[in-house]
Amino acid sequence: MNTSEADRIRESFARIVDCLQQGKSAEAEALAQQTLRDGPNDPNIMRVLGVALMRQGKYQDALEYLSASVKIDPKVAGGHEQYGLVLAVLGRLDEAEESLRTALRLDPNSESVHWKLARLQAMQGKDEESRQTRDHMSELSPHWKKLQDALKLQTEDKHDEARKLVKGVLREDPDNVNALNVMGGICMAQDAFNDAEAFLRKAVRRAPDFAVAWAVLSASLKEQSKFEEAVEALEKALSLDPKNANWHSNLGNLLLVWGKEERALASFERALAIQPDHASSLHSKGHVLKTMGDQDDAIRAYRAAARVRPDLGEVCWSLANLKTFRFEPDEIEVMQTQLDSEKLTDQSELHFCYALGKHFEDQEDYPKAFEYYTQGGATKRKSVRYDPVEFDYQTNQIIEVFTQEFFEERASFGYSDPSPILIVGLPRSGSTLIEQILCSHSQVDGTAELSDLMVLAHRTGQNRFDDLKYPESLIDIYADSVEDLGREYIDRTFHHRRGAPFFTDKMPNNFPHIGFLHLILPNAKVIDARRHPLDSCFGTFKQLFAKGQPFSYDLFELGQYYKNYIRLMAHWDHVLPGKVLRVQYEDNVADQESQARRMVEHCGLEWEDQVLRFYETERAVKTASSEQVRQPIYNKSVNSWKRFEAELEELILVLEDVLANLPDHLERPKMPSQ
């Protein structure tokens, strides 16, 4: 090979590597193919071509080039490493192990090869050999031992100590991809998702084949509602490890949260094709089928998961949470046996408690049902972070900032888009029914419970030199910034929509942020889903939420939260008259057409009779009321609190002032003696 030819290949190699580092696998493939057509079969070009093909899921083609690469130049450790990786992806595990061992003989100090070999041995069930490989790496690298210690600390919830260890590694070796990955996991555990993303993006830039880092990056992006990027990251991980049933299942859950039900179902099916008894995939398959309205198949999937994992309480709660489902006697016996075993995790215990609470309520054994709900709530309360004093303080701050003068001075602020219709209130107050009625209108898309408004509100208090937090951070905000926030909310929520001019955002916890909403989107509509306080509060108390609603697991705290909700809604009525339409659940049940006409008029829509036949509308519904809103309106949930009146004395006392001011047509409880 002459000098000019060697220079051309070196230049091409550098360009191909640059493309791979930028995630441009198809472009890297094209450059490599062109280089090989124009000259000799260079093993380095073949190797990077194999990597480019592998990242696109073209594993057989990648195998061909990587095999040729190691035959032409068997002395390059990286060639054997990549060849071993594609062999593992194709299920040829023994050959993959042999190739990785060859790579280690050529480069005994390679952390990445040790990592891959240890993982491969674990996949083969060679736990002792995997441990020995990790131990050997620990001897070679002091960093490795520190990272193992950090991981152990993390499992013990000692995140600050773990962070300190990993920081020490990164000070000495800023590009250590294993340290970057571990730090990303620590940040995730501390809810610092933006920081986690930064560490993990650096890790995958340095090591684009680091599948685990791609998977953790996906989780950090999901927590920030960056769904499209999260899906891309997890698909990248799966391109490197396509037989990973857990990641296929995680992808399905991610797609389900994003509102891509059909794609989610396909991901769960792929996981089950790899591992038919994969309990979490069976469970999640039930979720997506429920969301799509296929209750019979959802029940079959849930029951299949329960057979595989009878100790997994979440599956039984999912069945109970269908609301219209009833357990068989043998299923009740299994749940009670599991609870009596005292071998359950707290999570499984509380899920069984809520499921049994629902069962005994259906059996009209209300004291026993309340006992199970209370036991489950007490267990859940230990694991959630909620400070009722802090929420009371935040309520006061919101009322102090969002005054009539505040809005008068900023009357020209905001983005004019009129498309959002927010439905707020407490959970279990009829918001899903309101949403289903509105989404039966041809001009309205139903989305989900979106967190975007809260995210944008609190972001206004980040990175300020004066440390002012939301809502005080809005006092000196510029008009251009406010308009940008309104536009960003519309952009962030766009992928949930299907083309209608208007859309609903049914996040109940948005009620404290109505002032912020009006500031950034003055033409947005708001509907307050209101229900009898005892029905609303107790319905929330006995509902186990997948996430959020940390105030709901203690009746006293729940009552205090409800009083702040009432206080804030009264404030919005005062400073933004006409902004919020209040729809009382009991009125909606008693006279659906009148309430539907009020809602349609409030939203600036023309009347359509279809809204009265909301139960015919086919759409994904993710809340606990998913089956109930697929039926015509019924009134059996009105005054359901009366069945538990004796058990609700504490809540009744907390809400004494609220109950004294109920509308005349709502029933008041007897006040307990104090």
Q: What is the pLDDT of residue 310?
A: 93
Residue 269 has pLDDT above 50, yes or no: yes
Give first-to-last CA distance, the chain, whole Å: 97
Q: What is the pLDDT of residue 622?
A: 43
Tokens of 542: 């006995």
Which of 243, 261, 295 lies at the terminal end of a domain, its last residue?
A: 243
Q: Residue 297 domain-assigned?
A: no
For 276-290, what is the mean pLDDT?
Answer: 94
Per the listing, tokens 């124009």 go with 38
Residue 409 to residue 412: CA distance in whole angstroms: 8
More confident of the two residues 173 and 521:
521
Residue 141: pLDDT band (50, 70, 90) is low
Which of 222, 243, 264 lies at the terminal end of a domain, its last residue?
A: 243
Amino acid at 382: K
pLDDT (tens digit per residue) in 337-372: 999 998 899 999 999 999 999 999 999 999 999 999
Q: How would you classify residue 448: left for phi > 0, otherwise alpha for psi between -120 and 50, otherwise beta? A: beta
Residue 567 has pLDDT above 80, yes or no: yes
Peptide bond into 471 cis (omega under 30): yes
Mean pLDDT over the full length of the chain = 89
Q: Residue 585 domain-assigned?
A: yes
Give the strand order in the sheet containing 525-530: 444-446, 502-505, 420-425, 525-530, 580-584
Q: Residue 422 domain-assigned?
A: yes
| Residue-wise burial string across 645-669, b where 16 or more C-beta atoms lie within 10 A, e elsewhere | bebbbebbbbbeebbeeeeeebeeb
**Are 249 and 280 in contact, with CB atoms under 8 Å apart?**
yes
Query: Phi and psi dihedrals of 29, rounded to 5?
Result: -60, -45
- Show Cβ contacts of residue 4 under 8 Å, excluding neighbours closer than 6 positions: none
Residue 410: pLDDT band (50, 70, 90) is very high
Q: Residue 215 domain-assigned?
A: yes
**Are 539 and 592 in contact, with CB atoms under 8 Å apart?**
no
For 441-452, what is the mean pLDDT?
Answer: 92
Tokens of 147: 């990272």
Per the listing, tokens 């023309």 go with 606
Residue 207 has pLDDT above 60, yes or no: yes
Query: Phi and psi dihedrals of 581, rounded to 5?
Result: -100, 125
For 390-398, what is the mean pLDDT?
Answer: 97
Alpha-carbon distances of 178 from 14, 110, 148, 164, 259, rounded to whole Å: 25, 12, 10, 15, 33
Q: What is the pLDDT of residue 56?
A: 83
pLDDT (tens digit per residue) in 71-88: 998 888 888 889 988 888
Report the alpha-carbon angle 241-244-248, nearest 5: 110
| Secondary structure (DSSP) of 300-338 | HHHHHHHHH-TT-HHHHHHHHTTSS----HHHHHHHHHH
Residue 442 to residue 236: CA distance in whole angstroms: 38
Residue 143 has pLDDT above 80, yes or no: no
pLDDT (tens digit per residue) in 529-555: 999 999 999 999 999 997 889 999 999
pLDDT (tens digit per residue) in 595-643: 999 999 999 999 999 999 887 776 444 444 444 444 455 566 788 999 9
Element (H or E) spanning 285, and its range?
helix 279-291
- Show Cβ contacts of residue 377 under 8 Å, excluding neighbours closer than 6 positions: 350, 541, 552, 553, 554
Residue 424 has pLDDT above 80, yes or no: yes
Give the chain's largest Cα–Cα span. 100
More confident of the two residues 404 and 239:
404
For 301-319, what is the mean pLDDT?
Answer: 94
**Count of structural domains, the chain:** 2
Residue 505: pLDDT band (50, 70, 90) is very high
Q: What is the pLDDT of residue 139?
A: 57
Q: What is the pLDDT of residue 629?
A: 45
**Are 530 and 429 in contact, with CB atoms under 8 Å apart?**
yes
Q: What is the pLDDT of residue 17?
A: 85
Q: Are strands 525-530 and 420-425 parallel, antiparallel or unpaired?
A: parallel
Residue 594 to residue 525: CA distance in whole angstroms: 19
CATH number of the domain bearing residue 229: 1.25.40.10
Q: What is the extent of the structural domain holding 193? A: 141-243
Q: What is the pLDDT of residue 26?
A: 87
E strand residue ranges, 99-213: none
For 143-160, what is the mean pLDDT?
Answer: 81
Amino acid at 152: K
Q: Residue 336 domain-assigned?
A: no
CATH number of the domain bearing residue 402: 3.40.50.300
* pLDDT over 70 percentage in the chain: 95
Residue 182 has pLDDT above 80, yes or no: yes
Q: Residue 427 domain-assigned?
A: yes
Q: Residue 255 domain-assigned?
A: no
Q: Lowest-confidence range among 35-44, 201-210, 235-244, 343-352?
A: 35-44
For 234-248, what is the mean pLDDT?
Answer: 90
Q: What is the pLDDT of residue 621?
A: 47
Report the alpha-carbon angle 200-462-204, nearest 5: 10
Residue 140: pLDDT band (50, 70, 90) is low
Tokens of 116: 């891959």
Q: What is the pLDDT of residue 627?
A: 47
Q: Residue 451 domain-assigned?
A: yes
| Secondary structure (DSSP) of 511-526 | GGGHHHHHHH-TT-EE
Residue 137: pLDDT band (50, 70, 90) is low
Query: Phi and psi dihedrals of 424, rounded to 5?
Result: -125, 175
